[in-house]
Amino acid sequence: MTRFAEPMARLIEELKKLPGVGGKTAQRFAFHILRASDEDAELLAEAIREVKASLRLCSICNNITDVDPCTYCTSATRNQRLVCVVEEPTNIAAIEKTRHYNGVYHVLHGALSPLHGIGPEQLRITNLAKRVESACIDELIVATNPTIEGEATATYLSRLFKSSGVKVTRIATGVPVGSDIEYADEVTMQKAMEGRREL
């Protein structure tokens, strides 16, 4: 194992903490940074500091933002009465990619996960409950993952908000577009049949 000078070893150690980065990649990044101009290295350091200093959670929807409320929550062209509930901030990008959704969001930052000690008390829904109670919402689209934890979260939210009169819907699950139904597993196929719609 090559020994590095202390500052280099420290940089490699820090880079190794990034997801998907092992020892070799961390070394490559570290040497790249070392060879980069002082200016580029400073820009990277500055960008990291800036992201931590300026980003926070939107007080309305929990999305990560530099302005509070976030741009979705203050948008005049978006339907503020249609709210899509997602597990992670990164899920928003996947929905925005469709360019067919014009509502706003609520980010849970996770799902119900008993193995990790996350029950209903730990879900970030206080601000969502407030939005529902103040009758600002017509429909909640629950877009949590189609996993047992995502499904449990969806069922929980639908039961929680049932009495409030808000319409709670679940995104469809089924056969991926462009695939062959011959290769769909049985639970996916079952969901696709259950979620069929009239033509």
One of 30, 92, 112, 137 touching other proteins (CB under 8 A): 112
Tokens 């877009």: give the residue: 143
Amino acid 131 reads R
184 binds other proteins (CB under 8 A): yes
148 binds other proteins (CB under 8 A): yes
Q: Tell me which of Zn ion, other proteins, none is bound by residue 151, counting a contact when its beta carbon lies within the kind-specific cut-off of 5 to 8 angstroms.
A: other proteins
Phi-psi region of 132 (alpha: psi -120 to 50; beta: other; left: phi over 0): alpha
66 closest CA partner among 80, 45, 52: 52
One of 8, 41, 151, 174 touching other proteins (CB under 8 A): 151
Cβ atoms 142, 154 nearer than 8 A? yes
73 binds Zn ion (CB under 5 A): yes
149 binds other proteins (CB under 8 A): yes
Q: Tell me which of other proteins, Zn ion, none is bound by residue 165, counting a contact when its beta carbon lies within the kind-specific cut-off of 5 to 8 angstroms.
A: none
One of 12, 61, 141, 143 touching Zn ion (CB under 5 A): 61
Q: Which stretch binds other proteins (CB under 8 A): 6-14, 52-60, 67-75, 145-153?
A: 145-153
What is the C-alpha separation between 169 and 98, in angstroms, rounded?
A: 18
90 binds other proteins (CB under 8 A): no
Tokens of 41: 């290295």
Cβ atoms 104, 82 nearer than 8 A? yes
Quote the least distance from Cβ 20 to other proteins, whole Å.
4
Is 25 or 74 the residue whose CB approaches other proteins more closely?
25
Q: Which stretch binds other proteins (CB under 8 A): 8-16, 68-76, 87-95, 108-116?
A: 108-116
**Residue 6, Cβ neighbours under 10 Å: how many?**
8
Is 102 or 122 the residue whose CB approaches other proteins more closely?
122
What is the C-alpha separation between 101 and 183, in angstroms, rounded?
A: 29
H-only helix segments in the chain: 6-16, 23-35, 38-54, 71-74, 89-96, 126-133, 148-162, 186-194
185 binds other proteins (CB under 8 A): yes
